[in-house]
Amino acid sequence: MKLRDVKEILDADVIVGDEKLDTEVTTAFGADLMSDVLSFAKAGCLLLTGLTNTQVVRIANVLDMAAIILVRGKKPPAETISMAKSLQIPILTTKYILFETAGRLYAKGIVGCLEKVDTGSEQT
Amino acid sequence: MIPAVNKPENTLNKYSFDIEGGNFNAAGTVSMRIKAILKEKGLPGDVVRKSAIVSYEAEINIVSYARKGFIHLTVTPENVEIEAADEGPGIPNIEQAMEQGYSTASQEIREMGFGAGMGLHNINFYSDKFDISSEVNKGTSLRMIINATQLTKDI
| The three-state (H, E, C) secondary structure of A1-63, written as one string | CEHHHHHHHCCCEEEECHHHCCCECCEEEECCCHHHHHHHCCCCCEEEECCCCHHHHHHHHHC
Residue in A36, A55, A61 nearest the CB of B112: A55
Q: Under an 8 A CB cutoff, do B118 and A35 touch?
A: yes
CA distances from residue B83 to A70, B63, B118, B123, B146 in whole angstroms, order as listed: 34, 15, 19, 12, 11
Query: Which of B56, B118, B125 comes nearest A36 by C-beta?
Result: B118
Q: Does B43 touch chain A (CB under 8 A)?
A: no
Average pLDDT over residues A27-52: 96
**Residue A75 or B118, more confident:** A75
Per-residue confidence at A117, pLDDT binned at 50, 70, 90? confident
| CATH domain A3-112 topology | 3.40.1390
Give the CATH number of domain B13-147; options: 3.90.1150.10, 3.30.1360.200, 2.40.30.10, 3.30.565.10.
Answer: 3.30.565.10
- Neighboring chain B residues of A36 at a CB cutoff of 8 Å: 116, 118
B25, B116, B155 member nearest A42 (Cβ) = B155
- Burial of residue B49 (CB within 10 Å: 0-12, 13-18, 19+) is buried
Complex confidence, ipTM: 0.88
For residue A21, how many other CB atoms are within 10 A of its CB? 16
B3 band by pLDDT with thresholds 50, 70 and 90:
low
pLDDT at B9 over 60: no
Confidence at residue B8, expressed as pLDDT on a 0 to 100 scale? 47
| CB contacts, 8 Å: B125 with chain A | 39, 120
Average of per-residue pLDDT values in chain A? 94
Is residue A87 very low, low, confident or very high in pLDDT (cuts 50, 70, 90)?
A: very high
Per-residue pLDDT, A120: 58
Query: Using one digit for the tens of pLDDT, what is the confidence trace for B37-63?
Result: 999 999 999 999 999 999 999 999 999
Give the whole-angstrom CA distance, residue B31 versus residue B110.
19
Residue B52 Cα, gap to closest chain A Cα (Å): 7
Given this model, what pLDDT does residue A118 score? 78
The yes-or-no verdict on residue A67 having pLDDT over 60 is: yes
Residue A122 has pLDDT above 70, yes or no: no
Residue A9's pLDDT is what? Answer: 98
pTM over 0.80: yes
Selecting from A39, A56, A62 the residue whose C-beta is nearest the C-beta of B35 gives: A62
User: Do residue A55 and residue B111 have CB atoms under 8 angstroms apart?
Assistant: no
- Per-residue pLDDT band for B149 (boundaries 50, 70, 90) equals confident
Domain ranges of chain A: 3-112
Q: What confidence category does residue A55 fall into, taking pLDDT thresholds of 50, 70 and 90?
A: very high
Does A28 have pLDDT greater than 60?
Answer: yes
